[in-house]
């Protein structure tokens, strides 16, 4: 499985080591045999030459790295109850809300790769639930995600009922909760290690379709 976004990244990435501002990550040159094997497995599975900085953070604990790679393959970078566009929409909004420049940039890039329009990206980055780029179901979903991010203890059955009324199934709602909560973790790990943004959005250029042809999806 080579995901579309990693295929694009493979064409533009350099081999420069990842530099984290606060705490050193595990560069491949310094990896233990166990970590080096996991890095090779990631490269084979996803087709990305360079190991992402976030995985190099998790590599300080090899078993944690292995589990996070499993989550990437089984939950984050695949269609499930939610499709990839919906997951990247959540990831972008949550990461922006948590002021994680690294994750907001990378998942904003992934959102665009998976047919998210410029307007949808802008609305996700701003968590602007009133944006016309969101359809009513997306707006309800982002409201829910924002509430989980800001004050998960305040979520009630009424919030879930509101999502159901907007057309979301219980499995989709559960998956939205999982993705939102996982990114609360990822954002904090990345921010605490001090990973800088990769500036992927700055270099993004769709291979097909003009912005006018794409429209808001």
Query: What is the per-residue pLDDT for 121?
Result: 97
Q: Are residues 180 and 90 in the same domain?
A: yes
Q: Are residues 165 and 91 in the same domain?
A: yes
Given 44, 78, 112, the domain boundary residue is 78
Q: How many domains are contained in the chain?
A: 2
Q: What residues in the chain have per-residue pLDDT under 50?
A: 208-217
Q: Is residue 207 part of a domain?
A: no
Q: Are residues 60 and 109 in the same domain?
A: no
Q: Are residues 59 and 126 in the same domain?
A: no
Q: Are residues 56 and 27 in the same domain?
A: yes
Query: What is the per-residue pLDDT for 212?
Result: 33
Q: Is residue 200 part of a domain?
A: no
Q: Is residue 215 part of a domain?
A: no
**Conformation bin of residue 185: beta by default, left when phi > 0, alpha when psi is -120 to 50:** alpha
Query: What is the per-residue pLDDT for 3?
Result: 67
Q: Is residue 198 part of a domain?
A: no
Q: Convert the pLDDT of each residue in 163-174 to its tens digit.
A: 999 999 999 999
Q: Are residues 66 and 160 in the same domain?
A: no
Q: Are residues 56 and 113 in the same domain?
A: no
Q: Is residue 202 part of a domain?
A: no
Q: Is residue 112 part of a domain?
A: yes
Alpha helical stretches, state H, 59-193: 62-71, 84-97, 101-113, 118-126, 136-151, 157-165, 170-193
């Amino acid at each position: 499985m080579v995901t579309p976004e990693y295929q694009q990244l493979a064409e533009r990435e350099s081999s420069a080591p990842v530099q984290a501002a606060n705490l050193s990550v595990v560069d491949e040159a310094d990896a233990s045999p166990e970590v080096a094997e996991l890095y090779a497995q990631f490269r084979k599975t996803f087709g990305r030459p360079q190991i992402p900085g976030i995985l190099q953070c998790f590599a300080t604990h090899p078993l944690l790295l292995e589990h996070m790679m499993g989550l990437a393959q089984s939950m984050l970078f695949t269609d499930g109850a939610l499709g990839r566009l919906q997951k990247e929409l959540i990831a972008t909004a949550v990461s922006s809300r948590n002021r994680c420049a690294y994750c907001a940039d990378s998942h904003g890039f992934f959102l665009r790769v998976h047919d998210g329009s410029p307007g949808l990206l802008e609305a996700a980055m701003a968590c602007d639930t009133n944006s016309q780029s969101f359809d009513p179901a997306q707006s309800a979903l982002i409201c829910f995600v924002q509430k989980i991010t800001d004050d998960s203890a305040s979520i009630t059955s009424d919030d879930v009922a509101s999502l159901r009324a907007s057309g979301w199934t219980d499995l989709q709602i559960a998956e939205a909760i999982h993705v939102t909560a996982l990114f609360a973790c990822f954002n904090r790990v990345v921010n605490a290690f001090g990973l800088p943004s990769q500036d992927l959005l700055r270099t993004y250029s769709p291979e097909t379709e003009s912005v006018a042809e794409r429209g808001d999806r």
